[in-house]
Structure 1
Amino acid sequence: MTDTFPAILAGRYEIRDLIGRGGMAEVHLGYDRRLNRVIAIKLLRSDLASDSTFQTRFQREAQSAAALNHPSIVAVYDSGEEALVQPDGTSRTVPYIVMEYVEGHTVRELLGDGEAVPIPEAVEIVTGVLDALEYSHHAGIVHRDIKPGNIMITSTGAVKVMDFGIARAIEDSAATVTQQHAVVGTAQYLSPEQARGEVVDARSDLYSTGCLLYELLTGQPPFTGDSAVAIAYQHVREVPKPPSSIAADIPEAIDRVVLKALAKRRDDRYGDAAHMRTDLLAAQRGSAVSAPAASAWAAAPTTTLPQQADAFSPAHPETPAPPPPAARQPLPMPVEEDDQRESKNRLGLWLLIAALLVAAGLGVWAVSSGILGGADPKPTASPTPTTVAVPDVTGKSEQEAKAAIESVGLVYAKGDDVASDTIPSGRAASTDPAAGTDAAPGSTVTVQYSLGTAMVDVPDVSGKTQEEAREALEKAGLKVGTSTSEDSAEVGKDKVIRTDPVARTSVQRGTTVSLVLSTGRVTVPDVKGMTLEQAQSALQDAGLTYNVNSPTTEKTSDQAKKDSSEVTGTSPAPGSSVEAGSQITIDYKRFDYQPAPTTPAPKPSGKPSSTQTTSPTGG
């Protein structure tokens, strides 16, 4: 397959060594002549590119992926098509994608020996994946094929997710369960809705990420089988074993996070990548998580949402069912009926006398106490309750919450503020003890108030001054961290180029955001060795102008260099930092083509011809 591709694509991308091969495509090391950088080039199999529908879809997805600009996503620089001549002389157009070249290894290689990775490392990898998914989901792109082979770990330990959008366009029957011309995911990391052929969304990616986390923690995927269909069936119908049942060192809180991500129903999973990341990091720290207990998933039907174990309210005791009627027993026959009737009459008389005596006693007490006869009643002490129920003050202001708690004989105390996605800022979010709990009179109830939503989006402050950016970030509930400088042709001096985390990323309230500011300067690119036209284009792309010195001339007998030029240097030199729009002087040479001289043919050998002379005497 390799030898069918040309050496250069689009007149600028050199195809070099093969660095990866799959059933769908080959990935080559490449070099971008125009921008002087190493790249990766993915060339799809020509037989998969014969369908015009496939080509249109592939182009659309490649363009969507190219719009993603995030540190945890392998960048797509360019895409295009190249017309290739087949062995039979026909021409076929094959799509290609130009990507960021990443030095490192895939998570699949990391898991190659079937051994689990340490928990902190597993959490770090999955957190990087969730960062990438959060950004792509905000952009409306669902990956659809999250798996160890699509996750890169760079030589510096950074996480990079590959093939965004491309999974929609490529069909690989050996590794995926498919519909007609539509990839729905890799079997071991397949969401239930993908297995059923339903439309996927962001939560489908979170399910696949849960499968990835499961394998990192245990060394094996949640489901295995003899075929893709058998594995897909398990994804749809079976609840996986908790990871801690395979690796005993896994905390129960991480079990909760994994099993919530692997819920069969999408509505039971995390709503977005940010909330899954928050829970995962909390589980690693040993803090509380929002996911239900692992046992709840095993006990509940796969089609319903298990209730969170910690959220179960105390069950009201059910009214005991009446016992079954006793077997009917034969009653004793009356022997002396008249005596029994007389005995009953005497008993009724004594009961009547006793009732009258009691009534008389109560009357005397009522008169003496003032209840009857107009006298003021004597005060009587109410019984002191042994416990009171903690009132529900959720959503109340501090003044209202304090009054409600003190009104039932409890002592009010204000606790730390907490983030809440449901309670407005400044309103009571929770109490300790919880609402409805029985507490002794005089005991303290601590109220926590809401800070507002736990997650906020980083605002886009590109192009703003440092002070404007600080104001916008603080208004969003974020902190401003360090500022660094970087050359930029597009952004003015001391204006913000970007933030870290990048704009529109969802982060926890209070997160520190760093700024990258423009120096107002540009780095001179290295154009040495380019043609004059290529150098001029590269300088313009960098936001610079140019001036061209008169060329020198170099004679050459190389037919390929005929009427061509070559840049020999620039002033200022490559790598120099200059003001945007500065003029760069180009030195170059033109090649004067002169064919190599031909060797003259040898003269024929022989005696010299005789010379005619005139006699001195005439004649």
Structure 2
Amino acid sequence: MGTDRVLGGRYELRDVLGQGGMAVVHLGRDVLLERWVAVKVLRRDLARDPLFRSRFRREAQTVAGLNHPGIVSVHDVGEEHVAGSRADEPSVPFIVMEYVAGPSLRDLLREGPLALEESIRNQVGVLSALEFSHHAGVVHRDIKPANVMVTPDGGIKVVDFGIASVGGDPGATATEAHAFLGTAQYLPPEQVHGEVADARSDLYSAGCLLFEMLTGRPPFVGDDPVAVAYQHVHQDPPPASDYRSEVPPAMDTVLLTALAKDRNDRFQSARSFRETLRSAATGRHRGDDDSGDASCDVLPFHPSWHSTTTSTRSA
């Protein structure tokens, strides 16, 4: 699909921002409102498949119902016939979303682990977004660095709800090839077993995300997705401090809970994960100071955490 197309009579497609197994995301220009947008277009070869069309439509409906500053917003949806296609070919659906100008965490992690303060600040933002989506009955199921954007002012935007489950959908398992192969390094053990994901599954993936921000690598690596999935089920994660000495024991403990094999042994909510993380960052035990606002996204840090010796970035 060319980048000079206009969808819906108003969205000019420009450069390709990214692509996956189901769709291509373009930088777009809304000529009516004169603003930049991100336009996600279902792959043409999948447009005939009712399952993919339904999943694509569900993603738009899901994100449109999640009005939170940490979740990318949906502006519009539509369908368009591809130029030169046969009359009997189905139109290709597209979703017009908020454009996030900053990089993804995957982009940032290519430079190495993040500063400790930056890692925790990003994690707090992700957990705030997950707390909101979980309260709305939405499980993301694909939390990973590529699906977390960082805005120019340092904010967090969770993107790509393409395989999210809504309202405890009993068919929302990770046995589909695209879900398993695309997220093996961040896949909870229960999803490896083909069980239905819940909020605690997202928190396991978020634990993998925090581990990678702190160390520059996921907790489990292997030659192929099957080998990595096996480790998620059968092997204990290494302490993050094994790869980065500045990671304090309290943070290793947080990660140990987040990456528990049994979801009943993990944090039971994004709020609990966030509160414990903030306490670990300040060197306090939860309950030492009940005056703090647990919903606050401004994180104080221990002075000894201002180290840049093993990170190529500063907070």
- How does the TM-score come out when normalised to structure 2? 0.84
Equivalent position of 2:8 in the other structure: 10
User: d(CA) in 2 for partners of 1:24 and 1:52?
Assistant: 13
The answer as to 2:182 corresponding to 1:150 is no
Verify the 8 A CA contact 1:131 1:274 in the aligned structure 2: yes
Equivalent position of 1:167 in the other structure: 163
Verify the 8 A CA contact 1:46 1:92 in the aligned structure 2: no
The answer as to 2:3 corresponding to 1:217 is no
Equivalent position of 1:508 in the other structure: 294
Q: Residue 103 of structure 2 aligns to a residue in which SS?
A: strand
Structure 1 gaps of 5+ residues are 170-176, 291-415, 420-450, 455-506, 513-619
- Which one has a larger percent helix, Structure 1 or Structure 2? 2
Q: Residue 254 of structure 1 aligns to a residue in which SS?
A: helix
Q: Residue 131 of structure 1 aligns to a residue in which SS?
A: helix
Q: Residue 150 of structure 2 aligns to a residue in which SS?
A: strand
Verify the 8 A CA contact 1:74 1:160 in the aligned structure 2: yes
- Compared with structure 1, are the counterparts of its residues 289 and 188 closer, same or farther at alpha carbon in structure 2 (3 Å cutoff)? farther
Equivalent position of 1:31 in the other structure: 29
Deviation of residue 38 (structure 1)? 1.6
The answer as to 2:65 corresponding to 1:57 is no
User: d(CA) in 1 for partners of 2:174 and 2:198?
Assistant: 17
Give the partner amino acid of 2:197: V
Deviation of residue 11 (structure 1)? 2.3
Give the partner amino acid of 1:64: T
Structure 2 gaps of 5+ residues are 166-172, 298-315
Deviation of residue 23 (structure 1)? 4.1
| Equivalent residue pairs, number | 289
User: d(CA) in 2 for partners of 1:132 and 1:283?
Assistant: 20
Deviation of residue 12 (structure 1)? 2.3
Q: Residue 167 of structure 1 aligns to a residue in which SS?
A: coil
- Compared with structure 1, are the counterparts of its residues 79 and 279 closer, same or farther at alpha carbon in structure 2 (3 Å cutoff)? same
User: d(CA) in 1 for partners of 2:4 and 2:242?
Assistant: 53
Equivalent position of 1:578 in the other structure: none
Equivalent position of 1:272 in the other structure: 269
The answer as to 2:34 corresponding to 1:46 is no
Equivalent position of 2:255 in the other structure: 258
> What does 1:317-356 align with in structure 2 at a 5 Å threshold?
none
> What does 1:175-574 align with in structure 2 at a 5 Å threshold?
179-180=175-176, 183-184=179-180, 186-289=183-286, 419=290, 508=294
- Quick one: which of 90, 93, 96 aligns to 2:94? 96
Deviation of residue 180 (structure 1)? 4.2
Verify the 8 A CA contact 2:42 2:56 in the aligned structure 1: no
Deviation of residue 71 (structure 1)? 1.2
What per-residue deviation string (whole Å, max 9, x for no partner) do you get for residues 426-447 of structure 1?
A: xxxxxxxxxxxxxxxxxxxxxx
The answer as to 2:160 corresponding to 1:134 is no
Equivalent position of 2:74 in the other structure: 76
- Compared with structure 1, are the counterparts of its residues 129 and 180 closer, same or farther at alpha carbon in structure 2 (3 Å cutoff)? closer
- How does the TM-score come out when normalised to structure 1? 0.44
Verify the 8 A CA contact 1:253 1:288 in the aligned structure 2: no
Q: Residue 163 of structure 2 aligns to a residue in which SS?
A: helix
Q: Residue 18 of structure 1 aligns to a residue in which SS?
A: strand
Verify the 8 A CA contact 1:210 1:261 in the aligned structure 2: yes
Deviation of residue 133 (structure 1)? 0.5
Larger radius of gyration: 1
User: d(CA) in 1 for partners of 2:195 and 2:216?
Assistant: 29
> What does 1:598-613 align with in structure 2 at a 5 Å threshold?
none
Verify the 8 A CA contact 2:175 2:192 in the aligned structure 1: no
- Which one has a larger percent strand, Structure 1 or Structure 2? 1
- Compared with structure 1, are the counterparts of its residues 87 and 11 closer, same or farther at alpha carbon in structure 2 (3 Å cutoff)? closer
- Compared with structure 1, are the counterparts of its residues 181 and 190 closer, same or farther at alpha carbon in structure 2 (3 Å cutoff)? closer
Deviation of residue 35 (structure 1)? 2.8
Per chain length, whose mean CA-contact separation is higher, i.e. which structure has more relative contact order (CA < 8 Å, sep 6+)?
Answer: 2
The two structures, once aligned, show a CA RMSD in angstroms of 2.5
What per-residue deviation string (whole Å, max 9, x for no partner) do you get for residues 217-248 of structure 1?
A: 11111000011011001001111111112211
User: d(CA) in 1 for partners of 2:273 and 2:141?
Assistant: 17
